[in-house]
Structure 1
Amino acid sequence: MATPKGFARAIIVITTITAAIMELVDTSIVNVALNDMSGSLGVSIEDISWVITSYAIANVIIIPLTSFLADYFGRKNYYIVSMIIFTVASYMCGQSHSLLEIIIWRFLQGIGGGALLSTSQAILFDAFEPKDRPMASGLFGMGIVLGPTLGPTLGGYIIDHASWPLIFMINIPIGIIATVLSFLFIGKKEGEGKKKDSIKIDYTGILLLMAGIGCLQFVLERGESEDWFSSEIIRVCSVIAAIGLIAFIFYELSIKQPAVNLRVMGNRNLAFTTVFTFVAGFGLYTSVFIYPVLAQRVLGFTAYETGSSLLLPTLAAVVLMPIIGRLMSKGVSPIPFVILGYILFSVYSFMSAGVSPDVGKNDFFLPLLVRATGIAFCQLPLINQAVVGLQPKDYATGISLNNMIRQLGGAFGIAMANNYVSNRYANHRSDLVSAMPNGSPALTERLNTIAQGIIARTGDAATAAGKALGILNGTVERQAYYLAYLDTFRLIGIFFLIVLPLVAFLKVKKKTKEEAAAAMKAASEAH
């Protein structure tokens, strides 16, 4: 396949990056719309949160299978069909009138979206000569960093000015245009579509993966809301996840043509890189989860204010990505970038753990700038390190597994954060209440002051005492949640510091420019 030039290359760059951003936006845009969606569909917040769970389960199932599916159906065909699935599912999500409808269509949207992210980068890399591919990686990294941040900002704006179906409908014109451009301008790789007859479909492995990884993601996403192992469905899914994953590992290692080649995990460097990637996913997803909840539940930010406060600092990472790609293409070791990125993310966590409850959104600019810089330093180097020591034929599988681990790290992180916040909230609330025992002069004086203020404003003396108690209870809850979220930021910072000594187990193999470019290209095929 000839490398496209000029206008054709520009179209491919715009199309692939836009498709990836579109998919990443949809991973977070729904989060700020849950209240509106639950009211519109007549269900609880716990029920409507299934739109997040179903999308995440679909993503984590399809990501490790993307390399196999692209080989089997042909990359261009797989890409276009995935885009059509994503676009149609987006339309149907916006047209849904029941919880079951939107969950089904959201799952299908996740199937198409997971393929979009993985395949877009491979197509983008093929549009560049080997020596220019590190820059292409930087360009794609800009989209990867920008997408999740645009989600809450765009979602908040839509909810403030329109209705929730628009968060899905905006994908339709983008998806149609991207599909047409892909059909016209994206070429087929040499031999594409000719492997189908030689590839044996590993039905057993795929089913075991779906059962194991799907149930694991379900447990992590829904564990807190279902009260963990007190729930029968969580217990059943935990057993299925354990049996499914163990059986999947043994089965994939025992056959010649597995859907996912797990033998690559025998490479020491990849094994330790996945540890770093897990922690990176843990920190990145958890911080994106904790900060908006803190900002809206405790600090009183609107959804749009929360999203916009993330946007400007993130642009720093967008600018840094191609610079880091260029430095690595010149032979700079990725390990110092990883170390600095983890240190910066830990610094961000401890800075966030020290914020005052009276801060405004502009006060978060510096901590979020440190976070964005840490992301930039971690992203490309970890992709590079995942393929060090692997055979070229194993690059796609290694990075595919690495990306799945990142996704699972995020799921573990959010599950842990939910549970940790709940426990720390209960402890802090107990401490705050015990500091003001019932009947104490301090408590009585505080309640009387609040009650007198209510009487002065409303003239309602009959209910003033009850309202005063409610206001004080709300203040205690707000303070308890505030302290719990700060504790969670500290925990994230500690995780990033603990994993740093494992850097000693990573190795750096000196590559030529051509080898580095080939590694970047192959890494992209499973991203």
Structure 2
Amino acid sequence: MAVTGFARIIIVLTTISAAIMELIDTSIVNVALAQISGNLGATIEDTSWVITSYAIANVIIIPLTGFFARLFGRKNYYLASIILFTVASYMCGNSGSLVTLVIWRFIQGIGGGALLSTSQAILFDAFEPSKRPMAAGMFGMGIVLGPTIGPTLGGIIVDNYSWPLIFDINIPFGIVAMLLTYRFVPDDTDAQLNARKSVYIDYLGIFFLSIGIGSLQYVLERGETEDWFNDNWIVVLTGVAVVSLASFIYRQLKIDQPLVNLRVFKSRNLVASNVLTFVLGVGLFGSVFIFPVLVQRILGYTPTDAGFGLVPGAIVAIFCMPVIGKTLQSGIPPLYYVIIGCVMFILHGYTSSLANPDAGLEFFTLPQVFRGVGTACLTVPLINQAVVGLTPQELPSGIALTNMIRQLGGATGIAIMNTYVSHRYVAHRTDLVSNLQVFDPATAERLSMYQAGVISRGVDAAQSGEASYRILDAALSKQGFLLAYLDGFLLISIFFIAAIPFIFLLKTNKVDKATMQKISEESH
């Protein structure tokens, strides 16, 4: 039910803050893995399960949010999810072992997964259908802010404090969100009571979805680390994912009360917007993943500097999104913005790929601005377009599927970037080594320079030759990684070029006011 005045303002602040909090936790841990592994006595590879467990729980629960909202009531489910997320955050910060931390991160992901889709549904419901493009603009701010603030905030904490604060900062925000939700989010208990009694709990469907999505997310998250299909677990879980998801789809299309209404994909608009949303997830999460690693590993930035390097894009996006939402509301076709968004991401990938070993933060300002404009121009129209043409009963499934596909796009983007960079590094290093000749004057001069440098630092002259070769080898590795990361940025551009045909499948006509009013009345 649409609300007005102060209550609407509180609902907007609460839902967007909850979404930001959830998305921050998808990336804030990335820059703290080294500190966590050292503190808990684990390897970096084992510690990365702190990221993987959260992502798996997230992507399992997101498509089920509509079902749980029907079963328990949307407000009850939302409030319980905030409580679960907050309690799990406290337990993560107080974990004394890696196993305990991974378990609580999984539980945190279960609570966090509900915050995204349910926040969006509550926010949309607070606005009349004619004003939902503006709501989409405001919600889009959260989608952009979360992944951007995560590495920035994580870097500040790692450089100045200890890793438990990464989780503890959720606690005050979670408590405030609980109180505001309890007081201001409309209670749907009475309206949903009769419908809830008739809700069919498809336990087999829940099993297929959990196993299928969980296995798929594991493969995407751990594939590069485990050497993809050379690892037996990856092979087995790929098969499990295919069989389970195929069984889930078949079952959902056959039963009368599906967990997730997959029939919403009959909407051409939803299909096209979800393809573009997937590519947006690849571009957004892939670029946010590559940039901090590149500038820290190759250019020598601190975690804090790497985080602040993403800020220009976030600031631009924050300013653009309300404007885009307002202009969409006034009738400008979303097609225009989606085209601009794809072009901006193509420019972001291309200009980022021009970096060199001497690039400073100022070099990346323009590429980050391109990313911010592109994210705003894609996020707002796609959030809105995903639900155009859906009935009020179909809306929760449409929202949940869109959010799940964005998360899967992000996981796929990171997995692709990891694998692609590794392969390109090998290719570039091989090429660089093949062009080195010991008797080449330039190579000999460089080795002599290295040798003189190590001798001046006290290395024995007899060992200086070997040391100079090690320095040359490190320089080759650094250059190989730099070229590989720059190739990764170009790959992001290629993804958006390939997605352009789907833009023209989007429905661009504005829904008339009478239809909007009818939808609004039916939804309440």
TM-score above 0.5: yes
Offset of residue 288 of structure 1: 0.9
Offset of residue 363 of structure 1: 1.4
Cα gap change, 1:270/1:13 in structure 2, threshold over 3 Å: closer, same or farther?
A: closer
Percent identity reads 55
Cα gap change, 1:519/1:437 in structure 2, threshold over 3 Å: closer, same or farther?
A: farther
What is the TM-score of this pair, normalised by structure 1?
Answer: 0.94
- After TM superposition, list the pairs within 5 Å mapping 1:83-482 onto structure 2: 83-189=82-188, 191-438=191-438, 440-458=440-458, 460-482=460-482
Q: Pairwise CA RMSD of aligned residues?
A: 2.1
Q: Does residue 9 of the first structure (1) align with residue 15 of the second (2)? A: no
Cα gap change, 1:353/1:296 in structure 2, threshold over 3 Å: closer, same or farther?
A: same
Q: Which amino acid aligns with 1:268?
A: R
Tell me, what secondary structure is at the counterpart of 2:171?
Answer: helix
Return 458-467 or 481-490, whichever deviates more. Answer: 458-467
| Alignment length (residue pairs) | 522
Tell me, what secondary structure is at the counterpart of 1:258?
Answer: coil
Cα gap change, 1:521/1:498 in structure 2, threshold over 3 Å: closer, same or farther?
A: farther
Q: 1:80 is matched with which residue?
A: 79
Q: 2:123 and 2:510 mapped to 1: Cα distance?
A: 25
Q: 1:184 and 1:25 mapped to 2: Cα distance?
A: 25
Q: 1:12 and 1:197 mapped to 2: Cα distance?
A: 28
Question: Residues 121 and 396 of structure 2 are in contact (CA less than 8 Å); yes or no, is this contact kept in structure 1?
Answer: no
- After TM superposition, list the pairs within 5 Å mapping 1:13-32 onto structure 2: 13-32=12-31
Return 387-396 or 155-164, whichever deviates more. Answer: 387-396
Offset of residue 2 of structure 1: 7.2
Question: Residues 388 and 508 of structure 1 are in contact (CA less than 8 Å); yes or no, is this contact kept in structure 2?
Answer: no
Return 461-470 or 92-101, whichever deviates more. Answer: 461-470
Tell me, what secondary structure is at the counterpart of 2:461?
Answer: coil
Cα gap change, 1:519/1:442 in structure 2, threshold over 3 Å: closer, same or farther?
A: farther
Q: Which amino acid aligns with 2:233?
A: I
Offset of residue 522 of structure 1: 11
Question: Residues 344 and 374 of structure 1 are in contact (CA less than 8 Å); yes or no, is this contact kept in structure 2?
Answer: yes
Q: 2:518 and 2:124 mapped to 1: Cα distance?
A: 10
Q: 2:198 and 2:270 mapped to 1: Cα distance?
A: 28
Question: Residues 117 and 399 of structure 2 are in contact (CA less than 8 Å); yes or no, is this contact kept in structure 1?
Answer: no
Q: 2:520 and 2:324 mapped to 1: Cα distance?
A: 13
Question: Residues 384 and 520 of structure 1 are in contact (CA less than 8 Å); yes or no, is this contact kept in structure 2?
Answer: no
5+ unaligned residues in a row in structure 1: which ranges? none
Q: 2:449 and 2:519 mapped to 1: Cα distance?
A: 68
Q: Which amino acid aligns with 1:340?
A: I
5+ unaligned residues in a row in structure 2: which ranges? none
Q: 1:522 and 1:24 mapped to 2: Cα distance?
A: 32
Q: Which amino acid aligns with 2:451?
A: A
Cα gap change, 1:180/1:392 in structure 2, threshold over 3 Å: closer, same or farther?
A: closer
Tell me, what secondary structure is at the counterpart of 1:392?
Answer: coil
Tell me, what secondary structure is at the counterpart of 2:162?
Answer: coil
User: How far does the alpha carbon of each residue in 1:309-328 deviate from its partner, in whole angstroms, 9 at most, with x for none?
Assistant: 11133111101111111111
Question: Residues 387 and 395 of structure 2 are in contact (CA less than 8 Å); yes or no, is this contact kept in structure 1?
Answer: yes
Return 181-190 or 299-308, whichever deviates more. Answer: 181-190
Q: 2:520 and 2:335 mapped to 1: Cα distance?
A: 16
Tell me, what secondary structure is at the counterpart of 2:29?
Answer: helix
Tell me, what secondary structure is at the counterpart of 1:505?
Answer: coil
Cα gap change, 1:167/1:193 in structure 2, threshold over 3 Å: closer, same or farther?
A: farther
Return 77-86 or 276-285, whichever deviates more. Answer: 276-285
Offset of residue 456 of structure 1: 1.8
Cα gap change, 1:516/1:484 in structure 2, threshold over 3 Å: closer, same or farther?
A: farther
Question: Residues 27 and 148 of structure 1 are in contact (CA less than 8 Å); yes or no, is this contact kept in structure 2?
Answer: yes
Cα gap change, 1:446/1:387 in structure 2, threshold over 3 Å: closer, same or farther?
A: same
Cα gap change, 1:57/1:294 in structure 2, threshold over 3 Å: closer, same or farther?
A: same
Offset of residue 521 of structure 1: 12
Q: 1:137 and 1:103 mapped to 2: Cα distance?
A: 33
User: How far does the alpha carbon of each residue in 1:84-115 deviate from its partner, in whole angstroms, 9 at most, with x for none?
Assistant: 11011111111112121111110111111110
User: How far does the alpha carbon of each residue in 1:177-219 deviate from its partner, in whole angstroms, 9 at most, with x for none?
Assistant: 2112221222213603443211010111111001111101100
Offset of residue 269 of structure 1: 2.6
Cα gap change, 1:521/1:312 in structure 2, threshold over 3 Å: closer, same or farther?
A: farther
Offset of residue 490 of structure 1: 1.0
Question: Residues 436 and 442 of structure 1 are in contact (CA less than 8 Å); yes or no, is this contact kept in structure 2?
Answer: no
Q: 1:398 and 1:11 mapped to 2: Cα distance?
A: 25
Q: 1:45 and 1:142 mapped to 2: Cα distance?
A: 32
Q: 1:185 and 1:432 mapped to 2: Cα distance?
A: 62
Return 507-516 or 111-120, whichever deviates more. Answer: 507-516
Return 499-508 or 307-316, whichever deviates more. Answer: 499-508
Q: 1:489 is matched with which residue?
A: 489
Q: 1:150 and 1:521 mapped to 2: Cα distance?
A: 38
Q: 1:65 is matched with which residue?
A: 64
Cα gap change, 1:107/1:521 in structure 2, threshold over 3 Å: closer, same or farther?
A: farther
Q: Which amino acid aligns with 2:99?
A: L
Question: Residues 125 and 521 of structure 1 are in contact (CA less than 8 Å); yes or no, is this contact kept in structure 2?
Answer: no
Q: 1:366 and 1:379 mapped to 2: Cα distance?
A: 20
Offset of residue 452 of structure 1: 0.9
Q: 1:464 and 1:125 mapped to 2: Cα distance?
A: 67
Q: Which amino acid aligns with 2:308?
A: S
Cα gap change, 1:201/1:260 in structure 2, threshold over 3 Å: closer, same or farther?
A: same
